[in-house]
Amino acid sequence: MKTLWLKIKNNWKKTVFAILGISVAYAAFDGNSGATPDTSIGVAEEISFNDTVKDKIQKMTALKKINPKVFILWGGTHCILHPNEAIKYSDAICTWEGEIPFQIFYRAFSSQKSYLATPSMWFKTKKSIIKNKNLQLNNAKVLSSLPHPFWDLNCQIYDLNSKTFRNFTKDDYLNYNGLAYKTIWSIGCPFSCIYCANDAFISLDFNYRILRYSSINHLLEEIEAGLKLYPFVSSVYFIDDNFIAIPLETIKTFCKEYKKRINLPFAVVGLHPNLITKEKIELLARAGMNRGRMGIQSGSEKTLSFYNRLTPTSNIIKSASILGKAVKKYQMIPTAYDIISDNPIETKGDLLATLELLYQLERPYTLTVFSLRVFPKTKLYDYFKSHPSLDIRQVTSSYLETQKSLYNILLYLLAITKPPKIIFYWLLKHVKTTNEKQRYFPTLYFVIRTLYLISRAIAHLKRFDFSTIVGPWGYYLWKLGFIKSKFRPQTT
């Protein structure tokens, strides 16, 4: 991939090929690509997962304006779930995992051979749209053979503010990642929660339920390369959906090797209450896990059943107890529990069940509250499509924009503290469902949510953790020697 970047640095006007939002743009081929000097190749890799589809289309439009002859290949979730729409704005799209297909495509494209039969891709020609079948999912052997993500500064990005291409800088990295190195070890999900994009992927290929991951050495080599490139990185952030589903023996080996080779704090967001065990959490904590995130979604068995999330509340309580004890024992950042709010099918009983469950969970903990959003091609999408009277927002708006209701205020309050029992149960009497006519409390919502955000920030700042607090602040502290990194121990 570095070979590609060097070919097109400061040369966008002559670029004939660009990629947007496709995972293979990390580094899915070797340096011996066969591209000729007169074949300028450009890659527009997106560094923010928060970009909207509108942003991506804006980038493609900008590329076309610079060079109308540019060939744009687009990939990612939108292209997988909305291929017929995505192909309208690009010359080609990747409709499934793209690492191997991109190698096939790129070698044909750069050698000026026909690429129209490339699997897992669609191509827009003057006569028609060519739709090729998807390849099988990458297995562990393939994942272990892939080059590592490309994080070099020697590239350009499209700046949405200035509407121009500019050099990618250290500050861009800090503004998105803070002092964390973000990575994914495992792919796939054994569950089929109806609100999740994984449910849509499973509907396209049932084998997506199988957890797949590269070798431990391949993973650690990737992290080591990232740390050498960005010496200020002080923690690793695993954003796998189901990290905890990795077999125990593999986790044992990972913890041993990670401690020996990396020895930095790390976060695990892929915790599931059905799979958490004391042994796994203890292993991870001793290896350096400084925080975790677990999905609860609801305290109502009925709502969990609706989500096809077969998690008894007894499992949630047990797992929260294991995590709560580990937080105190290893002085970790409080575990964050995911809660889905603003669901129009929930009754008052469902809402109260969630609040009462959270009230009794072992502390400390915090919450990540999501307003329900609908991904196309999921079972949840099918349900609401067949119930048009129910008001639900799709993924065009942020799922962090929750309603300013008493219910959501209480969620944020519980994330901060455990209020006196008499006050808590008095407030429960006034909770109303999403569909009920109710009074909203924007000022109180703002105050409580701000205190919630401050409490979360303090929990990170106390431990000099800048994995979620982005920007240059952590970098300055690292430069002053207050923050430990792989290449400089913490100042005592």
- Interval 4-52: pLDDT, tens: 433 334 444 444 455 554 333 333 333 333 333 333 334 433 333 345 6
Six-digit token string for 241: 């959906």
According to the model, what pLDDT value does residue 393 have?
59
pLDDT digits (tens, 9 = 90+) for 393-451: 554 556 778 999 999 999 999 999 999 999 999 999 999 999 889 999 999 999 999 99
Separation between Cα atoms, residue 304 and residue 310, nearest integer Å:
7
Cβ 410 vs Cβ 355: under 8 Å: yes
Is the domain of 199 the same as that of 152?
Answer: no
Rounded to an integer, the average pLDDT of 93-121 is 92
Residue 325 inside a domain? The answer is yes
User: DSSP labels for 12-59?
Assistant: GGG--EEEES-GGGTT-S-S-----TT-----B----TT--HHHHHHH
> Considering 396, 415, 434, which residue would you say is the last residue of a domain?
415
According to the model, what pLDDT value does residue 378 have?
81
Residue 304 inside a domain? The answer is yes
Six-digit token string for 480: 């002053």
Six-digit token string for 155: 């590239």
Handedness of CA 26, 28, 34, 38 (dihedral sign): negative
From the list 299, 307, 295, 374, the residue with the least C-alpha distance to 338 is 295
Residue 454 inside a domain? The answer is no
Strand partners, 297: 339
- Tokens 């743009």 map to which residue? 25
According to the model, what pLDDT value does residue 60 have?
80
The reply to whether the predicted model has a pTM over 0.75 is: yes
% of the chain beyond a pLDDT of 90: 60
According to the model, what pLDDT value does residue 266 have?
97
**Model confidence at 161: pLDDT above 70:** yes
> Considering 159, 190, 205, which residue would you say is the last residue of a domain?
159
Residue 323 inside a domain? The answer is yes
Cβ 257 vs Cβ 224: under 8 Å: no
Inter-CA distances, 444 with 400, 418, 426, 448, 460, Å: 17, 17, 17, 6, 25
Q: How far apart are the first and last CA of the chain?
A: 40
Report the number of distinct structural domains present in the chain: 2
Separation between Cα atoms, residue 64 and residue 13, nearest integer Å:
10
Poorest-pLDDT segment among 22-26, 89-93, 114-118, 423-427: 22-26
Phi and psi of 171, rounded to 5°?
-65, -35
**Model confidence at 233: pLDDT above 90:** yes
Domain that holds residue 296: 177-415
Separation between Cα atoms, residue 470 and residue 467, nearest integer Å:
7
Report residue 54's pLDDT band, with 50, 70 and 90 as the boundaries. Answer: confident
Q: Is 37 exposed, middle or buried (0-12, 13-18, 19+ CB in 10 A)?
A: exposed
Separation between Cα atoms, residue 269 and residue 373, nearest integer Å:
20
Average pLDDT, the chain: 85
Tell me the CB-side half-sphere exposure of residue 38, using CA atoms within 13 A. Answer: 1
**Model confidence at 252: pLDDT above 70:** yes
Poorest-pLDDT segment among 158-167, 247-256, 385-394, 428-437: 385-394
Strand partners, 166: 157
> Considering 381, 415, 449, which residue would you say is the last residue of a domain?
415
Residue 480 inside a domain? The answer is no
Is the domain of 71 the same as that of 216?
Answer: no
Report residue 286's pLDDT band, with 50, 70 and 90 as the boundaries. Answer: very high
Is the domain of 150 the same as that of 186?
Answer: no
